[in-house]
Structure formats: structure tokens, C-alpha cells
Chains A and B, each alone.
Chain A
């Protein structure tokens, strides 16, 4: 169910899309956060001639979707749910680079909410396109809704 907490999400939920424009601050600070010093992400001084959004920023896009669609647990705004979620799987397919200054459209849905060995998981599917329709990233993700000791493996 959309509109509540992340733990309320269910199979088939379609997120309201998010649009934003990639800025140099976003890209450079994310690059700093992952200690990526290559010019690809810090300036236009690279073979593509434009500052490139790090493909890993798809995870920040997931946070944007959750912020917009789960307002009761808007983590970027400081609202936390009762339990820590644990990211279990990241799977990104890079389809084209996105650049600073481009507007992006982030879409996504919950493919499945399922239980495995007593643990509840969310399986996300997301896509990022430029505003003019170019596919940037295809992404799937599995997240464990509540961590319990000794159950990560």
C-alpha cells in the first residue's frame, strides 16, 4: 500500500514517478561519498565532454521514490520507521549515461513482497529515463524489511 510506511508496500504497488534535474552538487558529492575521483563524475573534462551522473545513483533515486510514496517513513526528511531495513541485492544495467543538467524521470514498482525463511523482502523494479525518453538505467533491488540477528546469510 502506498502512502504509508515502507513496510506497508505490497506486491503490485506502482510508485508515483519522480522527476528531477541532475546537478553537479549531487554528482560530485555522491562521487566523494564513494571516493570516486575520476573526472567522469567531477567535471566535463572527460571523453564524453560532460559531467556524468554515477550509475550507482540509482540507489539515491530509489530513496527519492520512497520519500515521495511512503510519507510516513520519509527518511530523507528524518522520519524513521520502527525497524532498520537491510539492502540485500543491487542489480543495475547501464543503458546510457546521464549528464549534469539533464532532467530524469524515475519510475518503479514493487514486483513482489515475499517471505523467505521467515524473513519479509521487497523486490523493487525501477527505470530511469531522460525527460526526452532515453533509457538510462534498468534496476532491480531486494531489501529485507526487518533485520534480525544472524539472519543475513
Chain B
């Protein structure tokens, strides 16, 4: 297995591809509401869970919550950098196009910069994004992680 400090500029970190199902959207809403209230909750009618309501708001269909894309990106960063990302990482995402429910998205990250730090640590800057199967970016962003050599 490649150590996190071995990534070179231009390298892709392991990504993933997934279908934005209504169930996933509901799971996110339920999890967020539960986290925000401390009680087991189910998300109600909104632009993410209700196609008709989404259309009333000017959307073509229901869309995934932007935080879902952020979470998927965060997940590939966690897998690549582990504790270093969890404890001292930075993630910025912009939702530049709607992620419609039902589409397939790719979750991607590429090393943009690497800088050696004392003690064998490496500070990475990454481009991170999601795109549809036509290659259209839906969420764009960047991340910063200082990776430390494994013990």
C-alpha cells in the first residue's frame, strides 16, 4: 500500500463512482436532522426529497444536498490520508451545478502541490471535485492536508 506521503504532483487519489439514489438523499437528510437535534429524525419535504416541491422552486427535479458531494469528497480524503486529514485537514467545496437525483457521479481528487516539511511530513494541496459521466463538473474544490510518515 502506498504511504500518504508518497503521492506525487498530478497523482489521483483513489476515487469512487456512485449513483445518486433517492435513498441516499433521504439517508443524508435523516442523518443531518438527527445530528442537529440529537433525536432520531426523518427529513421532511424539501428540494432534495420531493420532486414536486423542487419543481415549484424552479429546479428540474430533486437535487442532492450539496453536503453529500462534500461528504463523498471528504470520504476519499479520509481514506487517502487517514488521521492527518481528520485532525488537521482543510476542505473547501463549491456547488457549481445541481447534482440531480438519479445521475451517476464520480468523486475525484488530484495532487496539485506537495511541499516537504520537517520530520518527513509533506503538505499537500489537492484539487477535488465531482463530475457526471459526461465529465461536467458539478462540485469543485480544494483540500489541504499535512501528511506525516507512518510510525
Contacts and interface: CB of A to CB of B under 8 A. Distances in A.
A147 to B, nearest CB: 6
Interface string B25-37: 0011111111111
A20 B78 contact: no
A26 B74 contact: no
A48 B13 CA distance: 24
A60 B94 contact: no
A55 B74 CA distance: 9
Contacts of B47: 84, 86, 147
Interface in B62-117: 65-68, 70-72, 74-75, 78, 83, 85-98
Contacts, number: 132
A78 B95 contact: no
A101 to B, nearest CB: 13
Interface in B1-32: 24, 27-32
Interface in A121-153: 147-149, 152-153
A26 B34 contact: yes
Interface residues of A, number: 49
B76 to A, nearest CB: 11
B58 interface: yes
Interface residues of B, number: 48
Contacts of B34: 25-26, 29-30, 33
A89 B96 CA distance: 9
A91 B92 contact: yes
29 contacts: A25-B38, A30-B32, A30-B35, A33-B31, A34-B67, A34-B71, A34-B74, A35-B24, A47-B83, A48-B83, A56-B74, A60-B32, A60-B35, A80-B46, A84-B47, A86-B47, A87-B67, A87-B95, A90-B66, A90-B70, A91-B91, A91-B93, A94-B86, A94-B88, A94-B90, A148-B58, A149-B58, A152-B95, A152-B98
Interface of A: 20, 23, 25-27, 29-36, 38, 40, 47-48, 52, 55-57, 59-61, 63-64, 67, 76, 78, 80, 83-84, 86-97, 147-149, 152-153
